Amino acid sequence: MNYLVLDKIIKDALLEDIPNDDITTNSIIDDKSICSVDLIAKEEGIIAGCKVFERVFHILGNVQVKFFKKDGDKVLNKEKIAFIEGNTRNILMGERVALNILQRMSGIATNTNKYVEKIKHTKAKLLDTRKTTPNLRILEKYSVKVGGGHNHRFNLSDGVMLKDNHINAAGGIKNAVRLALENSSFVRKIEVEVENIEMVKEALECNVDIIMLDNMDLQTSKKAIELINGNALIEFSGNVCLNNIKNIAELGVDYISVGALTHSSKILDLSMKNLKVI
């Protein structure tokens, strides 16, 4: 991961949590005190973000983290994930920020993995979206990959996608695709969001690279896939959940995107326990 971006996130988060000083820790702990503490899982899941967790303490300084797991590993309830040793003040000051990040990242990886398990017998790949937490996208898209998913475009500057509002604004798919081909870089693929069979046909006539079936029912989707017939990559999107993703994948789509991976995953519960002053 890009440390220049990562460090900004971490430093901002540390300043959010400690705008001047940690008044509890500074009041009761000598700045030369050394301790050790364990990072423990409080439920089962997939761990993601080990290097980010470590980086929090690297930035605070004088703390070593030894991980027994690496990103993508399954952890069990009560399992010890890491051993942290170093300056007591810095460990206590960084605890919440480090856990807040690691818990969120692991929560996303864990949730992603549940979706991936449902469709692993098909050719469909699971995708994230841009429905990420503001200013944490780099961490969240990474976590999706750790959980077995794949990344869609990262932002509005690096992928062309013509959505309903774009198509409305441009007055139809044909005009929108024409303008996109004319004005965007030739290194971009063109993706179009379609809502019905008419739009599928129109998109096919434009030779777009990717067609996204948006909120389509299974029957219409099936018809769309037959029409496309391999002439474009197919992404399915909209109202996908753990209950219906298997059926969608078995239709034969190439990709299924799920906003909930990043906007509604619960965290993985982790804790720092057994602090011992040395």
CB distance 167 to 193 below 8 Å? yes
Residues 97-126 touching a copy of itself, rule: CB under 8 A, are 97, 99-101, 103-104, 107, 125
Among 148, 146, 153, 125, smallest CA distance to 47 is for: 146
Tokens 């206590």, located at residue: 92
Annotation says 131 is catalytic: yes
How far apart (Å, rounded) are the C-alpha atoms in residues 131 and 150? 15
Q: Work out which of 74, 123, 158, 247 binds a copy of itself, going by CB under 8 A.
A: 158
Active-site hit among 42, 69, 96, 145: 96
Nearer of residues 76 and 187 to a copy of itself, judged by Cβ: 187
Instruction: Give min distance, CB of 217 to a copy of itself, in A.
Output: 17
Give CA separation, 153 vs 128, 159, 214, in Å: 9, 6, 17
Count of all residues that appear for the chain in the document: 278
Residues 67-86 touching a copy of itself, rule: CB under 8 A, are none
Residues 13-42 touching a copy of itself, rule: CB under 8 A, are 13-29, 33, 35, 37
Does 270 help bind a copy of itself (rule: CB under 8 A)?
Answer: no
Nearer of residues 22 and 44 to a copy of itself, judged by Cβ: 22
Of 79-87, 184-192, 223-231, 242-250, the window that binds a copy of itself (rule: CB under 8 A) is 184-192
Annotation says 145 is catalytic: no
200, 245, 139, 212 alpha-carbon torsion, rounded to 10°: 0
Residues 121-150 touching a copy of itself, rule: CB under 8 A, are 125, 127, 130-138, 141, 150
Does 237 help bind a copy of itself (rule: CB under 8 A)?
Answer: no
Q: Which amino acid is at 238?
A: G
Under 8 Å CB-to-CB from 258, ≥6 apart: which residues? Answer: 115, 126, 127, 128, 129, 240, 245
Of 9-17, 63-71, 78-86, 245-253, the window that binds a copy of itself (rule: CB under 8 A) is 9-17
Give CA separation, 157 vs 6, 48, 154, 193, in Å: 20, 27, 8, 18
CB distance 224 to 236 below 8 Å? no
Q: Work out which of 54, 71, 191, 214 binds a copy of itself, going by CB under 8 A.
A: 191
Catalytic residues: 96, 131, 163, 193, 214
